[in-house]
Structure formats: C-alpha cells, structure tokens
Amino acid sequence: MADFDSLYHRLFSHPLMVEGLVREFVPEAMAAGIDFSRMEMVPAKFHARRGKRRDGDVIWRLPTHDGTDIYLYILLEFQSKIDRWMPVRMQVYVGLLWQQIIREHKLKSQHCLPPVLPIVLYNGDQPWNAPTDTTRLIALPKESSLWHWQPKVRYYLLDESAFPKDELARRESLAALLFRLEHCHEPGELLGLIDEVVAWFRRHPDYDTLQYLFTEVVQQAAVGLKDQGAVVSIPEDMLEVRTMLATRMQDWTRKIKADSLAEGETKGKAETLHRQLRRKFSTIPSSVESRIQAANGDQLDEWLDRILDAKSLTDIFGSDLPH
C-alpha cells in the first residue's frame, strides 16, 4: 500500500486537512480548546540510541488556548488493513516521541511531558475489529495482583466506512469528502462526488496543492470502478475524469438496457415455444425443458420455425435428443 501511504501522508501534511479531520471527527480534541492558528508539523522520524530509525506517519503540534501542547499523532499508520497489534505499535511510537521531546527540549525533572492523542485512520472495507488498547492483548486476568502494573495504551480510531453516508454528506470538510470518495463503489455516485469536490475548490481557489492531491484521490476511486466495466483509462485531470465517467455511464446504461431488452425477448420466445409444444405434443420431457432454458434467441427462432411441419420432437430438436 505504498501509494496509499504516500497519498495520505501528503494529504494530512496539509493543515487544512488536519483541522477538518479534528473539527468534525475528534470532538474530544476540540473540547481541549485547540488553537488551529498556531498548529505546526513535527518530524515523525525517530532515532533510537543505537541509531536505528523508526518512521511514523504524521505528527502535528496543536497548541491549546491555555498554552498546553497536544500532539495529534496522526499515526494514520494510514491503515488499509486491520492490525491486531496496533496498540503495541502506538506504545512504541508514543514512547519514541516523548523521548525525542525530552532530548530536543532538554526537559528537566520539574517539567512534564505534553499529552499525546494517537489517531489511527483506517480506510479498509471490512469493519475494524482489532483492540484499540493493550488491555485485551495482555495474557493476564484483570483481577490479578499484577494487573495494576500492566501498561495501558489507547488510540483514537477513525474507521472511515463506519460513518453513515448521509451523515458524511452533511459535513463540509475535505476530510468528509475524502471518506466518501474512498468508499464510493458506483459510477453515478462518483460523478456526484466529483461535482462536490470541484464545487468545493471553486469556493476555495487558494488550495492548489490540495486540489492536485484530490485529483489523485478521484483517479484512484475511478480505478476502483474498473471491475464494473465503467472505466477503461483514467485521465490526469479531475474534470476529464468526470467527463470520461459520464460518457462511460451513458454507454454502460445503454448496454444494460439493451441486455435487458434482449433477455426479455429471449424469455418471450421461450414461453411461446413452450406453449406451442404443449398444444402439439401435450407433454414436454425434462430434457427438452433444459434445452429451451439454455438456448439463445437465434436457436429459439430456429425451433419455432420447425414446429409447423414437425411430427415429433426429434423433427424440432434433432435426433440426438435425450429421452
């Protein structure tokens, strides 16, 4: 999922995306009184004492109005697959972050660590069912005398597919549009979403970088429709993607209607053949029934033409007719 990781990393390296995500989907953080006007990005590359480097995804320092820093560890480890051990990974990342803060800010014994809010952003189709804290991972009953000393790390889960579509449609942020695009599986729905994305950027013309990134999101959503035969090749421009989808939708709809009409005609011919065979031969063997059900329109026409002169079923269906 390298492309997925890269795209989400670039999206949530933009302060507007992070602000929209927090404002609309993390009410607990909003209750802390975040000051978005002074938010800043923090490097997510950690170096252990022996030089081994660990990379997180995105970290933002979001000051509160009372001066306390809250780190949203958007370890949107940007998950596309369920990971049972995510609490353990979060424990490692948060520990490395605090070590880095202690080292870089030269914290003294009278200082305190800043609070951290780890967030996991998951875009998979299956509902997230992994633990969101370490308590379910530890092989120890809670009534044990050792339970009090077990580490407890939690993360804030944002499962994109868990939000109802009508609820997301009422939200105005690009983060909500991203969630909807990520879980769009119908060409007609995608057309409407592209129109909403285009309208958003027309209202906010100063976000060229985000518009370019959302073009990538739209392209990926269109690629996901290939299995339905709705897309052949994906243009580079968002409006071109929309035009291409609209054209393909028309072709797709015409094909469905034509297939439906042909299926109806075939069914009508089969019913006519059944009726005429019963009138002429009274009963129809199961072998004949099976052949009629499996036949196409042209074959049914040929059998219908033979009925008038036929003296037996063999005259219609051939000498290889099973008994």
> CB within 8 A of 121, min separation 6: which ones?
8, 12, 21, 74, 76, 78, 79, 158, 160
Identify residue 12 by its one-letter amino acid code.
F
Identify residue 174 by its one-letter amino acid code.
L
Encode pLDDT of 164-203 as tens digits: 989 999 998 899 999 998 888 777 788 888 888 888 888 8
Residue 134 has pLDDT above 60, yes or no: yes
**What's the pLDDT band for 125 if we cut at 50, 70, 90?**
confident
- State the Cα–Cα distance between residues 191 and 251, nearest whole angstrom: 15
Q: Parallel, antiparallel, or unpaired: how do β-strands 40-42 and 45-47 relate?
A: unpaired
The pTM is what?
A: 0.69
> Distance of alpha carbon 126 from its chain centroid, rounded?
9
Exposed/middle/buried for 66, CB within 10 Å: 0-12, 13-18, 19+? Answer: exposed
- State the Cα–Cα distance between residues 58 and 41, nearest whole angstrom: 8
Instruction: Check if the beta carbon of residue 70 is closer than 8 Å to that of residue 29.
Output: yes
Share of the chain above pLDDT 90, in %: 21
How confident is the model at residue 1, as a pLDDT? 40
For residue 223, give Cα distances in angstroms to 93, 160, 193, 266.
Answer: 34, 19, 15, 34
Alpha-helix residue ranges (DSSP H) falling in 224-296 = 238-281, 286-294
Encode pLDDT of 244-282 as tens digits: 555 655 554 565 456 666 677 778 778 887 888 887 777
- State the Cα–Cα distance between residues 233 and 166, nearest whole angstrom: 30
Q: Parallel, antiparallel, or unpaired: how do β-strands 116-122 and 156-159 relate?
A: parallel
The CA-CA-CA angle for residues 15, 37, 93, to 5°, reads 50
Residue 268 is encoded by which pair of tokens?
A: 């009508």
Encode pLDDT of 84-122 as tens digits: 999 999 998 888 888 888 888 888 888 888 888 899 999
